[in-house]
Structure 1
Amino acid sequence: MTKYGLRARVYILTIIPTLVVGILLASYFTFNRNQQLDNFVIEQGVNVIEPLAIAAEIGLSRYNREKVKALISVTHRKMSPLIKSIAVYDKHNQLFVTSNYHRNIRLLQSDPKLPLPQSTQVEIYPDRIILRAPIWAEAEGSFAAFSDGKPELLGYISMQYNKDRALLLQFRDTTVALFIVLFGVLISVLFAFQLSKHVTQPITNMVKIVDRIRQGRLDARVEGSYTGELGLLKHGINSMAKSLAEYHEEMHQSIDQATSDLRETLEQIEIQNIELDIAKKEAQQGAKAKSEFLANMSHELRTPLNGVIGFARQLLKTPLNNNQADYLLTIEKSANNLLAIINDILDFSKLEAGKLKLERIEFNFRDTINDVVTLLAPSAQDKHLELNLLIDPDVPEGLRGDPLRLQQIFTNLLGNAIKFTHQGEITVSITLVKKQGQQVVLNASVQDSGIGISKEQQAQLFQAFKQADTSINREYGGTGLGLVITQKLVQQMGGDITLESEPEQGSSFSFDVHLELANMVLGAPLPLNALRKLSLLSYEPHHLSQKVINGLAQQWQLNLQSVSDQQQWQQALAEFNGTAVIGHSDWNSLEPLYQKITEAKQKQLEVIVLVNSSDPDVHQAIIDAGAKYCLSKPLNHRKFAQALVDDLQEDVRVISPISRASRVKLQLKVLAVDDNAANLKLISAMLNELVSQVDTCSNGLEAITKAEEQHYDLILMDIQMPILDGISATQKIRKQSRNQQTPIIAVTAHALAGEKEQLLAQGVDDYLAKPIDESSLEKLIHRWQPNAKQLTTNNKGLTAKPSTSLEFENSSLSWKLAMQRANNNQSLALDMFGMLQESFDEIEPAIQQLLNQQLDVDEFVLIIHRFRGGCAYSGCQRLEDLSATIEDSLRQAHQVTEIEPELLELSDEIDKVKQAAKQLYQQLAES
């Protein structure tokens, strides 16, 4: 049954239209009748008041109250009870006379704020009508004055007319209309009942029969005599029942046969299921063995094959006869085909079983974080940023976890902070959140005062290949994977990473990591007993740097006196006896620092200087000024402790490179332009030993600005740079600047045929290939400035004991070559190598994106070009050769498929360099 049956629908469709039509007609006639009655009453009232106003004119003009009252009283009595009251008001709107004074007499008065009525007015209320008519002085023989030829308004007459009779008639008419509507509805109900009885009863009987058929009683039939559509429905139901009975019989026979067949089929399926289950287990075991084998053999398969390809290509570069060259080309082609197949298999195995697993090894937490901060400190110092590491004294030093992945997290966050901060400070803070049993939860944050990140940019910051700056000429570069990797690593360590940032207000990345306590603290122990005996006077204007010193003093139980301004410094010097620690941030202006060293030395104090620079020349100049030790910020706790107890090894004292004999410098002003920080740092170091003044900038736009402001004797211009390339910058300098005639030397790692000729044709004067050799640079300067004035500088005052010699050679890293490229400056060589390691975070994801066709070839060429420049000065000859091969191949053929083996070989070589770096740093620590 439906919600509304046929009976209900008959009633609804019969009664509702009648009810609606009746209500509408009754409403119309009632409303019309009420309007007619109201109009009649108003018309009757107007016919009374207007003659009355004319008749009252003589009495009002003569101010005869008795006459007017008699007039209105007669009218009131004749029209009672229709008229409740009549009142006459003079021209001042004051009551003159009334026929019936009552408490609501003021209702008859016109609003005092409005002018007197000039014509008949009608005010209709639910139970009464107020009429007002003006009284004019226009009767013959009137004593009233005339104004401007018009009769004067003497006042007005007001009358309250009752609607009682009209309301009674309206009620009567409404009641009659309502009874008529109800009578019509009653008639409709009677008709609907009769119609329902003759239609719904047969249908109800048929529904019952259909329900019996549905229950399986197929012999049920509809009885009775029906005509029209009901008769057709009766015959249809009976025919359906008969057909169903026949089909039911046939179905029973078919079911019996199908049941017999199904039994046989089920027996066969059961046998097949058993066989399939056995085959499935065998296949799973085979797949598992295949995945484990491929996962274990990935490096062993790819490494020797990359070696075959690499050495085949190296052999092709040697003199060969035709047969030998043909054989080698065949070997290379076959190896490339095999490598493509192996890579496909390895990619499939990674999808099945390749997941990152964190190590659980014991390590020294403070040393691990110090390594990251020390590695990235030069980048911050070059931008004059104050970098601080604040580790809470409650944080345990001996922990168990994955130090390499932990360093990767801090490297990504700190590297981003340095990249996006142009001035101010960067602070790395680490605190203990919880320590329960062997479990330790640490909270770390990296705060900067950089450009900040908007809410829209934050929404896509932790998405792969997404960056805040997505424009074509991105200022900061990068692949957009660093933060995604960081987030995944933090999550695998049981924590989560959050970001708080506002544009131009800096950013703060905060995350938690879950680690375990180590059974023992690794690393050399600190001389705590000797430290407890010391008295320390610390002068540090920068409050965060002072906070670092205070934390170490508290942890080591030092007797520390801290000052932060000149007045406090002078007062403390007068009474202090011990070691003075002087912090200085601006390494471009050392005179204030020299003054404080002199003041401390006059008090016979030992001086340790903390300077925001890793430049060995700056350190040596500070030591020459009287400091006992010069340490770089951010403060390394081990070096600081050893310096305090005078137990520092010889190589900790920062000394200049191996002293040379008197060096001839040229009085020249040179501008060096390069977007690679490592290249720029090295070429600046080389130029500072050859010329009197060196200016640097990192892109072509900066070079144009400096060329417009100053004149230079020589400009060294990198070719491929962001924002504005070297060729465009050269052409603009030639057109309009102070250096239109200045020799401009192209410095590039390109070695393609015809490259030098193309550059010379585009406006440069000469060509200098990377990696830059000091002798080649010196020859080039003398060639273009043969008449430069010579300045002789004697370095005897800077002569110091040479740095500890370090012998480290393997196939991936040659420290001897790195020292040669760094002009035998070990500190500079270490900086160059550190910058190369930083670039791994950019090149490795870029390789995977290129292989997966997620990165544009032109963008990868820019990345590999920057990477190649860093390799040139770090002693990684094989890494440099692979980068050069990949870059040159992409520039010529622009096909990724042709260099896939080299890309995979480059990834393997980067892993080898990382392993060599660990051995190198371990050897440095032990030396």
Structure 2
Amino acid sequence: MNNILGAKISTRRFDLLKAYLYIGTAIASSFWLVSFYIDSYYLRFLFTICVALCFASLYFLYRKPRIARLIFVIDYFITVIVCTPLIGKEGMFDIFYGFYFLLITLLYSFRKEKVHIITFFSLTTVAWIFLISWNYFGINIAEIDTENASTYFYPITFLGNFIFLSSTLISFAQKNERYTRIVNEKKNEALKILKLKNIFLNAINEEIREPLNSIIGLTHVLKDNNPRKDQEEYLKSLNSSGISLLELFTNVININTLESKKVSIKNRETNLNTLIENVIQIHKTACSQKNVNLIAKIDANFPTILIDHVRYQQILNNLVSNAVKFTNEGEIILEIKILRKNKNKIVFSTNVIDTGIGISKDKIDVIWQNFTQASNSTARLYGGSGLGLPIVKNIVRSMGSDIQLKSEPNKGSHFYFELTANIAKTSKLRIRNIAKVKKEEITVIQELANKKILVTDDNKINILVLKKILEKENAIIDEAYNGLEAVEATKAKKYDLIIMDLNMPVMSGEKAIANIRKLDKDIPIIIITASNSYDLEDFKNQNISYTIRKPFVPKELLQNIKKAIST
């Protein structure tokens, strides 16, 4: 029975059926009254049945609309087919029969009710041929003469059809206008919620990063003060938890940024050799702890290129971090290959290959979804938020490419993508071979002993962390708790380096840097900030050495400080 009745009727089709029924009932009732006037028994009998079926259909309209539709369709077909021969040969208009029959198909969904539409189309074709043949051979009952047809039946039919079509068009136009208004209201509401969410996340970004910086920084400080073995384990767990929380929060911020607006790609001159060295430095400790070799390969004579180095390094960090997480032995290879190159452009591939647990083919599509991993057991065993790879996919697409994955369970995974970049005009070629990473220490570029460093931050714990890290290197540390104090201190004393926070009371870091540059154009300045809204490019006219995000890793901070003082 359900097959005959068809699928559930949508709101639009229900309104169309309602219009059909009201107009059809009005026309049939008018014809029924006319049949009394012209004293036609046949018409009276026919339209009595027709009107009865129309009212039966109206009865079911709000109760069981699919039954109402079926009754109306049967009534409609019978009326058109039976009425036509009554008009007579001279009054027939064959071309409109197909139009009348095909109107019925509008009551059915092409996507869900193709069988019904095909059936009615076939019936329409047969009925049309039948009526044309009837007209051709002149077989008719001629119950309605041409004069009555012209006086009563044609005007009623045309008027009814005109009212039906115009009212339907007006109704649909009004509905479209209402739906458009509702959609726009919902869209504006969603945009407002999205804006509030972004404001909220940006607001708590610094509020979370500041205490995390204190937690992670103090664990490093305590670890360097010869703790007992049991204390060392506690500190390791505390540091690991802090880093995990930071990674989760950073990924949430990143995925929110990527999904809420189009990613802005800022191409700048980039030496991939240096960039890859930075990636290796970040992940070498984790690889060393798992006894996994981290290998970097880049083709010889790879030129300096124009690329968004921040986004590209974010891709590499997430891919390598993912590989480290799921690789317990063997090696991880980060490989950059030149595919094609001419004077101005280069096409190169980026490959991250590991010997980890791998992924089955049926799970490959799943891992690109937010907060999703290959399985629940994977999430329990290896942890992670399930956001790293979706972030990678979003950024790679924003850079005009798409990331691919080849993987086999228990054999490993191979992530790869291609990028096209312009070659920098000032490109300096640099030969780079394989770099194996084990338990290496950072090369000391310059000792910090007796170097005078001004640390500026409105958070006392952050200053404490920085002081402990730098005093261990025998540096001489002065403190400033806002931008104005930093400017006054610079006037009074010559420093080898200034560490500057940005969001501070009294005077912001930005204004302080501008004032300090009026006093000393060459003093190295390193910005340490919890904000995501700043980049080194924002301070290109202020000669800033480095911009470091909180929370920072002490070894990386020291490396950048030593580089800044050396240059």
The TM-score range, normalised by the shorter chain, is 0.3 to 0.5
TM-score, with length taken from structure 2: 0.43
Tell me the TM-score normalized by structure 1: 0.28
Structure whose CA Rg is larger: 1
Structure having greater relative contact order (Cα 8 Å, sep ≥ 6) = 2
